[in-house]
Amino acid sequence: MRTNARIIILITMIKKVRAFFEEHKKVILIIIAFLAIAAISFLSLSLIFGKKKLSEAEQVALNNFNSKVLLYIEAIDVDENTAYNPTREEALIAFAVQYAYGENDQTELTNDEVNQIIKDYFETEIDFNSFNQLNASPFLTNQGITFYSDKSRYVLELREKSKKELIQTPVTAYLQKEASIKKNAITVTYSKYIANEPYAVFTEAALAQKDTDGCGDYFAGKGNANAIKKLITAENSEYQKDFTLTLVIKDGKLVANY
């Protein structure tokens, strides 16, 4: 009897709750929607106030980092979709070799020279004692980089290209999209753009009387693509993807935590 009485009471309560919900359905839905919006707003504010814009000094430091790294950043922008699935060490080696060529026309690097460049811009270095340099690397080969064990050097193999080839070879560049600082680390998002007609980018810049120094040498097969990269904008190229780096301060300068 007591069990039946409890069941009857429970059924009665359910009916009352249902009736109350039906009677105040609109109000209840409004309250639920308001609470959901409030929760989302709180989360958004937490994310916003957890980060802050860069100070003028921090932006200057970032600009200095970008001026050296952006021209060669494609080497480390790797993921599961990157051809030949490079290791972290291979990507850093490619960066160092391309940096040495682009900045100093240097095509051969020892292990120590590779690590010196890496340590200048990254919060890491390569342990060549554990990294097997004798293993064939399809990624480095595709980048034109060969390790010669007899010289104990990485060599950038340059292949001469005709002006026609260079005109038809797309050039990629990275532009800073946004940056914020949180807990003494700067998070920077770069956008990758590709200029499928680099010669058109050059001629347009020349007509606009922009600095095109080095472009003529590039199309004559006597230089690298850096001069073209500096002319690429979101307007004269095609957007490809975003790439994010975290930068920290080490020895008084910004380096990438890669």
Please provide the average confidence, as pLDDT, over all residues in the chain.
Answer: 87
Strand partners, 153: 110, 148
**pLDDT digits 0-9 by tens, 123-132:** 999 999 999 8
For β-strands 108-110 and 238-250, DSSP reports them as unpaired
pLDDT of residue 15: 64
pLDDT of residue 136: 83
pLDDT of residue 242 exceeding 70? yes
**pLDDT digits 0-9 by tens, 8-42:** 665 666 666 567 657 666 666 666 655 445 433 33
With tokens 């919900």, the residue in question is: 21
pLDDT of residue 4: 57
pLDDT of residue 52: 81
Tell which wins on pLDDT, 221 or 6: 221
Confidence band for 134, pLDDT divided at 50, 70 and 90 = confident
**pLDDT digits 0-9 by tens, 179-234:** 999 988 999 999 999 999 999 999 999 999 999 999 999 999 988 999 999 999 99
With tokens 């109000």, the residue in question is: 27
Confidence band for 43, pLDDT divided at 50, 70 and 90 = very low
> What is d(CA 244, CA 225) in angstroms, rounded to the nearest whole number?
23
pLDDT of residue 38: 41
3-state SS of the chain is CHHHHHHHHHHHHHHHHHHHHHHCHHHHHHHHHHHHHHHHHHHHHHHHHHCECCCHHHHHHHHHHHHHHHHHHHHHCCCCCCCCCCCHHHHHHHHHHHHHHHHHCCCEEEHHHHHHHHHHHECCCCCCCCCCCCCCCHHHHHCCEEEECCCCEEEECCCCCCHHHHHHCCEEEEEEEEEEEECCEEEEEEEEEEECCHHHHHHHHHHCCCCCCCHHHHHCCCCCCHHHHCCCCCCCCEEEEEEEEEEEEECCEEEECC
**pLDDT digits 0-9 by tens, 103-117:** 999 999 999 999 999
pLDDT of residue 183: 86
Confidence band for 48, pLDDT divided at 50, 70 and 90 = very low
Residue 222, both tokens: 């006597």
CB 253 within 8 A of CB 61: yes
**pLDDT digits 0-9 by tens, 67-95:** 999 999 999 999 888 989 999 999 999 99
Average pLDDT, integer, range 135-149: 94
